[in-house]
Amino acid sequence: MSALLTDQFGRVHTYLRISLTPACNFRCTYCMPDGENPALSSSRLLSAMEIIKLVSWLADEGVTKVRLTGGEPTIRKDLVEIVEGISQIPQIKQIGMTTNGFLLGEQLPRLVDAGLTSVNISLDSLSEPTFRKISGTNGLSRVLDSIHLALQTPGIEVKINSVLMRGINGTEAPDLVRYFLNHKTELRFIEFMPFGGNHWELSKFVSSAETRLLISNQFEHEKINEAHDSVSDSFQIKNHPLKVGFISSITDHFCSSCSRIRLTADGKFRSCLFDDGEVDLLTPLRKGAEKQEILSHLAGHLINKPAKHGGHDFSVQTTQRSMTSIGG
Ligand SMILES: C[S@@+](CC[C@H](N)C(=O)[O-])C[C@H]1O[C@@H](n2cnc3c(N)ncnc32)[C@H](O)[C@@H]1O
């Protein structure tokens, strides 16, 4: 294991999250600020070749797991090429993708063939009007079709991500659990986090503890032990294949075991979702910088990764950039 991806607190970073584009075909209120069009011209995005090169350099230093995200990764025309290239890097053992699922159905078979090993699909509501209110689209039935296709596809692990907001979908957790009860998947509730322009308010915030209480009134469940760097507190629903997970980014952050580093779609390296400090890798890469130069830029930043939550206090806005522009 290389010291290069170890920070000042001894945390070793083996998990790389890459945003493929800040653009999205959905307009989820908690993710994309009103009126924002975050699309970038393709020349300002890391190309497939640049992504594959950076992943292979980081894999040499200990990265074993990659997640493709955005924005919406399925709107990248070269997504299959990117997955295929990453899957040929021998040290990379897992390639995941987080998606809203709308375009996933038509792409899934090629992505699995290319080497995708897991997919997290976002689903915040089973009610059409609520889904429309949150996402700004009529995509619910398409997303559900993609989820069912993924659940039936061999060779790929599927998780479902939900963000609950009081007064909108805050009490939907038991309905979502009931819907997936007989499926071999994990339904994960992510606490609503504040980002630039996403109208986060304490009055809309629903804690994991509250959601778990709602679920436990209807479904017996028991704790599952997870990997040391897992971000989710997970439970098995008794007598059913479904697992339920809680990602308590606000009430019980998991920074001390964080193994994540990030690349934004425009080639910036970030050591933490909430730390606005970034290092531009795209410019030196395009000027011909080689592996050691790029890695030393990156390591110089990573060593100072804050102990927790980007060093911020969650009672105030945490980061200036929106989730869609950083990459969730
Ligand atoms: C930014 S999205 C990008 C990938 C894809 N477009 C999707 O919908 O999954 C990745 C994940 O971040 C979550 N997310 C976005 N904004 C969030 C926020 N403010 N709080 C908690 N989770 C958020 C989404 O629900 C989604 O599961």
What are the tokens at 110? Answer: 């090629």
Q: How far is CA 20 from the centre of its chain?
A: 12
Confidence of residue 226 (pLDDT cuts 50, 70, 90): confident
* pLDDT at 87 (0 to 100): 98
What's residue 288's pLDDT?
A: 97
Nearest residue (CA) to ligand 1, atom 2: 328
Strand order in the sheet with 118-122: 221-223, 233-237, 243-247, 186-190, 157-163, 118-122, 94-99, 65-69, 15-19, 260-263, 268-270, 279-280
Mean per-residue pLDDT, 200-224: 95
80 Cβ contact partners less than 8 Å away, ≥ 6 residues apart: 107, 110, 111, 114
Distance CA 27, CA 24 (A): 7
- Examine the pLDDT at 315 and tell me if it is beyond 60: no
C-alpha separations of 200 from 25, 29, 276 in Å: 22, 10, 18
Q: Is the pLDDT of residue 316 over 60?
A: no
96 in ligand 1 pocket by Cβ < 6 Å?
no
To test the ligand 1 pocket, which listed residue (21, 25, 98) has its Cβ within 8 A of the most ligand atoms? Answer: 98
User: Which amino acid residue places its CA nearest to atom 16 of ligand 1?
Assistant: 31
pTM metric for this prediction: 0.96
Strand partners, 187: 160, 244
Residue 68 alpha carbon to ligand 1 centre in Å:
12
Give one DSSP letter per residue of 108-132, joined into a string.
HHHHHHHT--EEEEE---SSHHHHH
| pLDDT higher than 80, residue 325 | no
Does 164 contact ligand 1 (Cβ within 6 A)? no
d(CA 48, CA 324): 20
| Cα angle for residues 124, 75, 126 (degrees, 5° grid) | 15
Q: How far is CA 13 from the centre of its chain?
A: 16
* CATH number of this structure's domain 12-326, picked from the four choices 3.20.20.70, 3.10.20.30, 3.40.47.10, 3.60.40.10: 3.20.20.70
Probe ligand 1: pick from 21, 30, 31, max atoms within 8 Å of CB? 31
pLDDT score of 198: 87
Domain range summary for the chain, segments of one domain joined by +? 12-326
Q: Across the chain, what does the average pLDDT equal?
A: 93
Q: How far is residue 97's CA from residue 120's CA, in Å, rounded to a whole number?
A: 6
CA atoms within 13 A on the CB side of 182: 0
Is the predicted pLDDT of residue 311 greater than 70, yes or no? Answer: no
Q: What is the pLDDT of residues 139-150, one digit of tens each?
A: 999 999 999 999
Condensed to tens digits (0 to 9), the pLDDT of residues 235-284 reads 999 999 999 999 998 888 788 999 999 999 999 999 998 888 899 999 99
